[in-house]
Structure 1
Amino acid sequence: MSTTAAVVTALAAFMAGFSGASVLARAKFVVEPLAAYGVPRSWWNGLGVIKLAGAAGLVAGFWVPVVGVLAAVGLVLYFAGAVITVVRAKAYGHVPFPLVYMAPAVAVLAVG
């Protein structure tokens, strides 16, 4: 793995992990928009765990590359779903937020 790929992967893992932990910690800046978008509270723990699993998968990819690739694909799909959720809620000004978290996962796939 190149240095660039390692840095991008570490950044993607950090961002996904931060996002997942923020949901599980019920950070106001995360859960208020989720509620506004109509995401049921019963989903919040699962969504946080999925993001943490994606972060762990990216880190595992340092040793088992296929796991990292699958984790990156999963995170891209997750954040694509987040974009769809934001658009369906007509919160167009919030679309950049999931894209910011998706970008490093896409970069992992591009450099890997």
Structure 2
Amino acid sequence: MILLPHVWWLPALLALVLLIDAVLSLRPPKFIRDCLDGVGFPREWWWTLLVIKTTAVVGLVVGIWVPGVAFAANTGVIIYFASAAVAHLRARFTGKEFWINCLGMLALAIAVQVLSVLP
């Protein structure tokens, strides 16, 4: 099992993107509001996404030095965006928000996971 990322800047890049996403989610711009409303995610639960994204950021950064943490955090990010993709498909909300925001982030998280553990 891979315990530390071979390329430290990949989890750092994913952490930076998630941090920007979390900061944007404090006062969601139209494309984030459209995305969450489009899948029917209740507004009173939007705060949970901030907690999830911030926790992932911390895990990815700490995991650069602490064995196994970045791998676990990255796995959580993959599960988060895979779940978001399922929510989009179930809601039949497959516009540009789905392709760019959701699948783009899922692809980035998968790429970081794969490239971080390759020797």
TM range (shorter): 0.7 to 0.9
Map 1:37-56 onto structure 2 (within 5 A): 37-56=39-58
Residues matched between the structures, number = 110
Letter in 2 for 1:43: W
TM-score (normalizing by structure 2): 0.82
Sequence identity (%) = 35
Q: TM-score, normalised by structure 1?
A: 0.86
More helix by percentage: 1
Distance 1:65 1:17 in 2: 22
C-alpha separation in 1, matches of 2:66 and 2:16: 18
- State the one-letter code of the partner of 1:95: F
What's the CA shift string for 1:72-107, capped at 9, x where partnerless?
000000000110111112122233221211223212
Q: Compared with structure 1, are the counterparts of its residues 32 and 92 closer, same or farther at alpha carbon in structure 2 (3 Å cutoff)? A: closer
Per-residue CA deviations over 1:48-92 (Å, capped at 9, x if unaligned) read 210111111100111113111110000000000110111112122
Mapped to 1, the partners of 2:94 and 2:47 lie a distance apart of 25
Gaps of 5+ in 1: none
Matched ranges for 1:22-61 at <5 A: 22-61=24-63
Cα deviation code 1:28-53 (max 9, x no counterpart): 22123211221001211101210111
- For residues 62 and 33 of structure 2, the distance between their equivalents in structure 1, rounded to whole angstroms, comes to 28
| Pairs within 5 Å for 1:57-96 | 57-93=59-95, 94-96=97-99
Which sections of structure 2, spanning at least 5 residues, go unmatched?
none
- Measure the CA separation in 2 of the matches of 1:10 and 1:48: 18
